[in-house]
Amino acid sequence: MNKKTLLAGFAVLGAIALTATGCAGSTDAGGDSGGGDSGSDTITVGFAQTGSESGWRSANTASMKEAFSAENGFDLIFNAADNDPAAQIAAVRDFINQGVDAIVIAPIVSDGWDDVLQEAKDAGIPVVLEDRTVSAPDDLYASWVGLDFRNEGVMAGEWAAENFGDTETNMVVLEGTTGSAPANDRAEGFDEAVEGTSIKKIDSQTGDFTRDGGKTVMEGFLQKYGVDGIDLVYAHNDDMALGAIEAIEAAGAKPGEDIKIISIDAVKDGMLALIDNKINFIVECNPLLGELAAGIVKDVLAGETVEKTYFVTDLSFTPEEAAKVIDERLY
């Protein structure tokens, strides 16, 4: 099953790389009435990033800036909304007013996008989503590229079920940003995979995908249930797991041993904690989406047909597996 999705993922990567090369240097030929740069070959793109909440986000921002570079024919207007959904929508509205050629969004939350996406459509400015998804109708944006968050939750849950499912296990959950697609989908996929096992979710709270948030929420859980009352932490990202490690150590217990930890992302610091046996299992979430997103934007502006969704495939790692690949990891 994993192998199959992996192959499918590579096929998609290949396909996009090909089409992107095919129209390198294209201008805003897709009937764009925005035309911030009409007359020149440069494509002006407004990118509305969530903020800078995690290691994953830093890697994603770096990947986007590299792909949407002047060298690649782009003029990138970058905005990071500091995890504030209203500020992010305002940034997109600003891009529309500036008449950019295309807009790329990593939506903080799923809901609330209908109006501004309609405004972009009315202005003839195509929108490409990267990373997180929205609940708005899909005719309001051209395409989305990202990861299968639900499947990430399933992969994490299946590993938990296999390793802890036969013994009474008290689990606490560190949720991502409330209302975000990865928080919703990772919770749903995991819950489904552990259904009917002896893993019991005793508490679940948002740590907002940040290290500080994960630490604070974990401190609260430890106060409430005690070290002995918690067997397993499921963190929706590595940063919150790293915060939880600090809280567990401060409480005099051993993370990865007294309290097991599963997380998602596989960013460098997470992988190092995994190799250190402080985290027990990590499901990957690949943040290197820049080249794919840039290829899609060029295709859309060139009037080429693009898919509505492009999934990039994720792997997963035990400490042993992490140790083998750590030197080759790009983030």
Binding site for ligand GYE (CB under 6 A): 53-54, 56-57, 131-132, 182, 209, 237, 239, 264-265, 285
Look up residue 237 and give its amino acid. Answer: N
In the complex, what is the shortest distance from the CB of residue 236 to ligand GYE, in angstroms, rounded to a whole number?
7
Using the minimum distance from each CB to ligand GYE, give the nearer residue, 34 or 107: 107
In the complex, what is the shortest distance from the CB of residue 174 to ligand GYE, in angstroms, rounded to a whole number?
11
In the complex, what is the shortest distance from the CB of residue 184 to ligand GYE, in angstroms, rounded to a whole number?
11
In the complex, what is the shortest distance from the CB of residue 146 to ligand GYE, in angstroms, rounded to a whole number?
7
In the complex, what is the shortest distance from the CB of residue 169 to ligand GYE, in angstroms, rounded to a whole number?
24
- Is residue 39 packed enough to be buried (19+ CB in 10 Å), middle (13-18) or exposed (0-12)? exposed
Using the minimum distance from each CB to ligand GYE, give the nearer residue, 143 or 237: 237
* Other CB atoms within 10 A of residue 223 CB: 10
Cα four-point dihedral sign 58, 78, 68, 236: positive
Using the minimum distance from each CB to ligand GYE, give the nearer residue, 169 or 281: 281
Q: Are 191 and 157 in contact (CB under 8 A)?
A: yes
Using the minimum distance from each CB to ligand GYE, give the nearer residue, 278 or 298: 278
Using the minimum distance from each CB to ligand GYE, give the nearer residue, 173 or 302: 173
* Other CB atoms within 10 A of residue 30 CB: 18
Using the minimum distance from each CB to ligand GYE, give the nearer residue, 54 or 206: 54
Using the minimum distance from each CB to ligand GYE, give the nearer residue, 171 or 312: 312
In the complex, what is the shortest distance from the CB of residue 271 to ligand GYE, in angstroms, rounded to a whole number?
13
In the complex, what is the shortest distance from the CB of residue 54 to ligand GYE, in angstroms, rounded to a whole number?
4
Distance between CA atoms of 298 and 74, rounded to whole angstroms? Answer: 10
Task: Give which of 48, 57, 49 is closest to 93, Cα–Cα.
Answer: 48
Strand order from edge to edge, sheet including 102-105: 74-80, 43-49, 102-105, 127-130, 143-147, 309-312
Q: What does the block give as tokens for 48?
A: 């509305």
* Other CB atoms within 10 A of residue 28 CB: 28
Distance between CA atoms of 295 and 104, rounded to whole angstroms? Answer: 12
Distance between CA atoms of 258 and 277, rounded to whole angstroms? Answer: 11
In the complex, what is the shortest distance from the CB of residue 147 to ligand GYE, in angstroms, rounded to a whole number?
6
Cα four-point dihedral sign 100, 103, 109, 110: positive
Using the minimum distance from each CB to ligand GYE, give the nearer residue, 27 or 286: 286
End-to-end CA distance of the chain: 26
The radius of gyration of the chain's CA atoms, rounded to the nearest angstrom, is 21
